[in-house]
Structure 1
Amino acid sequence: MAARVVLGWREWLALPALGIVAIRAKVDTGARSSSLHVDSQWRFVEGGVPWAGFRIATGVRANQVIEAQGPISDEREVTDSGGNRSRRVFLRTPLVLAGLEREVEINLTDRRGMLFPMLLGRTALARAFTIDPARSFLHGKPPE
C-alpha cells in the first residue's frame, strides 16, 4: 500500500478541467461530499446529455471570473452543517492536490459568506490522504 500524503486542514488545489488553477479549500472529513462555491449556475443539454455551466471568482487573481461547464454526473439531496437540505448538481472532474491528480465528485452550491470557496469532503480524500488538523497549507501557495 502506498504511503498517504499528509494534508493540513486547509490547502490550495486545482480543478484543471474547469479552468480553476488554484482555489483555497477547507479539508473537512466531517463532510461526505465536496462542494464548490458558484456565483451563478445554469443547465443545458449537449449531445443529449445534461450539463451545468457556472461562474466563479476564485479570488486568486484580482477580479478574475471563471466560466466553466461540465456534464452532470448526478443530482441529489445534500444536508449542510446547519441541517438544511437542498438538491444539488454534481460533476465529476480531475482534482490536483499535493502533486496527485484524481477524479472526484463535487457539487455546485452557494458558499457565499463562507471562508473557503471549496470544501473538500472525505470521499475525495479516501485512500490517498491523511489529515493533520494542526497544520495548514502544507503543499504551498498557488501558482502566480
Structure 2
Amino acid sequence: MVPLFTNKIRVKEKLIIGRHEIVDLPELGMYNIESKIDTGAETSVLHCEDFEIIEKDGHRFITCHIKPHLEEEEILTLTFPIHRERVVKSSFGQTETRYIFLTKVRMFDQLFDIKLSLRDRSSMSYPMLLGRNFISGKFLVDVSKKRLARNSF
C-alpha cells in the first residue's frame, strides 16, 4: 500500500493548467496562441490551412500554411523536417495520416519540447490542441480554470 502523502508530493512537482491556455511557439514565430487542453487526444495539433510533403536530399519535409489566429488573416508559410508519420483515428471514427514535427512551446515562461501534427481546425474554436502526450508527466489539468500558464513577455 502506497502512503497517501506520496501522491501529494507528486502533485506539487507538476504545474497546473486550465481547460484553455495561451501559449507561444517561439521557433515558429507564433505568439499568444489560444489552445484547448484535450486529455482525450493523444497528439497535440496545430491549425494548418494546407500543406504539402516534399523530399529534399533524401529527407522528407512538410511545408504548411498556418493561420496562428483564426480570427485574423495573417498566414505563415513554414517548412519543417518530418519527425514521423502516424495514422490517427478521429472522434468521428475517420482515420488519416498525420505528419509530426518537433518544436518548442512556451508556458509558464519555460520552454517545453512538443511533438505537433497539423490539421485544418478552422471549424474549431481553438487553433491549437494540447494532447495527453504533451501534458503527461508535466501538468495537471484543473477544468474549472483557464489561462494559468500565461507567459510574462
TM-score by length of 2: 0.84
Shift of 1:55: 1.0
Report which of the two has the higher share of helix: 2
User: Number of residues paired by the alignment?
Assistant: 143
Distance 1:34 1:133 in 2: 18
- Report the equivalent of 2:93: 83
Residue 113 of structure 2 aligns to a residue whose secondary structure is: strand
Q: Is the 8 A contact 2:63 2:79 kept in 1?
A: yes
Distance 2:56 2:98 in 1: 19
1:23 has 2:33 as partner: yes
TM-score by length of 1: 0.89
Say what the alpha-carbon RMSD is for the aligned residues: 2.1
Residue 50 of structure 1 aligns to a residue whose secondary structure is: strand
- Report the equivalent of 1:96: 106
- Report the equivalent of 2:21: 11
- Report the equivalent of 1:140: 150
Shift of 1:60: 7.7
Identity of aligned residues (%): 27
Distance 2:133 2:149 in 1: 20
CA deviation vs aligned residue, 1:6-60 (integer Å, no higher than 9, x gap) = 1000001112222212211101111111111100111223442111111112228
Report which of the two has the higher share of strand: 1
Residue 6 of structure 1 aligns to a residue whose secondary structure is: strand
Structure 2 vs 1, CA of residues 60 and 30 (structure 1 numbering), >3 Å: closer, same or farther? closer
Shift of 1:114: 0.6
1:74 has 2:81 as partner: no
Where does structure 2 lack aligned partners over 5 or more consecutive residues? 1-9
Deviates more, 1:133-142 or 1:106-115: 133-142
Name the amino acid aligned to 2:140: T
Shift of 1:139: 2.9
Structure 2 vs 1, CA of residues 71 and 101 (structure 1 numbering), >3 Å: closer, same or farther? same
Larger radius of gyration: 2
Structure 2 vs 1, CA of residues 62 and 112 (structure 1 numbering), >3 Å: closer, same or farther? closer
- Report the equivalent of 2:45: 35
1:126 has 2:145 as partner: no
